[in-house]
Chain A
């Protein structure tokens, strides 16, 4: 289990509950999903909510994984994509930088 499970994935997260910008829990959860998708889309992955209880992570080919928290996203993503994900991979970084350059933005 990843260390961020408790921070990102559930209502027990005191950290997220303590955020002053947090509105209703449901809205906060959907906002987290939206933000997470901004990054997951780099890998052609989509995260969706299921009844406010768990998440479904989907790949471009239709493969899906049910996860309980965002902390489980990366192992699930690797199973969906069938490869190891390395944020320090030079190939990945080159691709991301090219993408960033084409959108004329280094942020989202």
Chain B
């Protein structure tokens, strides 16, 4: 096979009825859909979604039905390897991007695990943006009732609020703020903006990550927002920043984070950070979903400037103050006290 870069692999997820297939239909119609292969994982006996998307993308591959948590890994691997075989034999046009539409009950970590942990897939595909659709009308109820909903939102790099025209502007604003509280690093769109493919599925370019590196000041508003009402609404899920004023030793940091994820990976829903590391002027970006950390990305100082290392955690049933304390106790320098956390500690 010709030498080429790994194919970006996007995940489109969202709870049942959130509008994933409709979104795919809209954004893949026309020129934007060229070079995009779509995989669909259905849950249920009638693959309606497949029919909808298949009308748009002939090369869509339907993964057999079943619960993703227990069955998708093998099927997803087989589907992706099948796609590669078809590409090699020129049975399908060149593919620039693969989008997996998950079932509504999927926890994205299982998909990320499949890509990162399989040697064949990890060489051929590169994890790209995870996009989560949420239903504006049902978001509040689903957030309370379904842990899958929360896992999908916390794993997302982009969140699209669908059916936004069915709620009032005030309600929409509340939903946006609610999602931002849960996942401070996600970009949030709503269906009234009609986001395009590039808006939602574009690669995690350094420019995008550099925005995260310099945008922390914009997040300070959450300090006051994440209190009382909202923290109650978030239940046991909390997001918080660690900000460290000096460079970090990578090995020490990685071992600490590795130990944290080893012990509590199922409770660390998301981690994302821009780090200053000893021995390099580059910024290092890390991000992960639960216990899965994606290969770090280098940002040169031309792309982003920050004098501090910043880490965002989204955790469930863990005390941010204890994580901060552990970070310092393991010799990773003490986080900046004044602005380190958006979590309203009581």
Chain A positions within 8 Å of B, measured between CB atoms, are: 1-4, 6-8, 14-15, 18-21, 32, 35-36, 38-40, 42, 70-71, 73-75, 84-88, 90, 92-93, 96-97, 100, 105-108
Contact = CB atoms under 8 A, between A and B. Distances in A.
A2 B329 contact: no
19 contacts: A3-B116, A3-B293, A7-B293, A8-B258, A19-B277, A35-B251, A36-B252, A38-B252, A38-B331, A39-B251, A39-B256, A70-B255, A85-B259, A86-B263, A88-B263, A92-B329, A100-B329, A106-B334, A108-B252
B279 A97 contact: no
A7 B117 contact: no
Nearest to B298: A18
Contacts of A32: 251
Given A2-B258, A3-B288, A74-B259, A87 B328 contact: no
A97 B281 CA distance: 30
Nearest to B326: A87
Of all A-B residue pairs in the complex, the 7 with the closest CB atoms, nearest first, are A21-B279, A35-B251, A3-B293, A96-B329, A74-B262, A4-B258, A108-B331
B262 A2 contact: yes
Number of contact residues on B: which range applies? 35 or more
A interface: dominant SS: helix
Contacts of A108: 249, 252, 331
Q: Chain B CB within 10 Å — which of A2, A3, A71, A105 has the most?
A: A3
Nearest to B252: A39
Interface string B110-126: 00000011000000000
Contacts, number: 114
B278 to A, nearest CB: 8
B329 A19 contact: no
Contacts of B252: 35-36, 38-39, 108
A88 B258 contact: no
Contacts of B260: 87-88
A88 B291 CA distance: 16
A71 B288 CA distance: 15
A87 B296 contact: no
Given A19-B279, A42-B330, A100-B329, A3 B291 contact: yes
A93 B279 CA distance: 28
Interface in B286-333: 288, 291-296, 298, 318-319, 322-323, 325-326, 328-333
A106 to B, nearest CB: 6
A106 B328 contact: yes
